Amino acid sequence: MSEALERVIADQQLKIARLTEMVDRNHITLEYNYKELVELKDAAFSVMNAPNNYAYRQTLRETLTKQGWCLSCEQMPCECDE
């Protein structure tokens, strides 16, 4: 094999390795985001099914706070500096 062809092959293998790592990181991020979404959904539907249950409401508040939502300005990230 010529030296130029070997360089091209090595470059392509490096690009493939970087893209594979990026796909793996994206899968991990998607799994994490999905778990957070499921947790939020469960907390929200618990409140909707039993709106007078303080424990469910507190769980929803804790879930929102843990995920980065500000309960005062209702933004993520917080815009009210609290």
- Higher pLDDT: 69 or 27? It is 27
Residue bearing the bigger pLDDT, 75 or 32: 32
Which tokens hold the place of 49?
A: 């099914």
Q: What pLDDT does 73 receive?
A: 86
Mean pLDDT of 16-44: 97
- Helix/strand number for the chain, H first, E second: 2, 0
Closest to 65 in 3D by CA, of 54, 77, 48, 49? 77
What span, in angstroms and rounded, lies between the C-alpha atoms of 17 and 10?
11
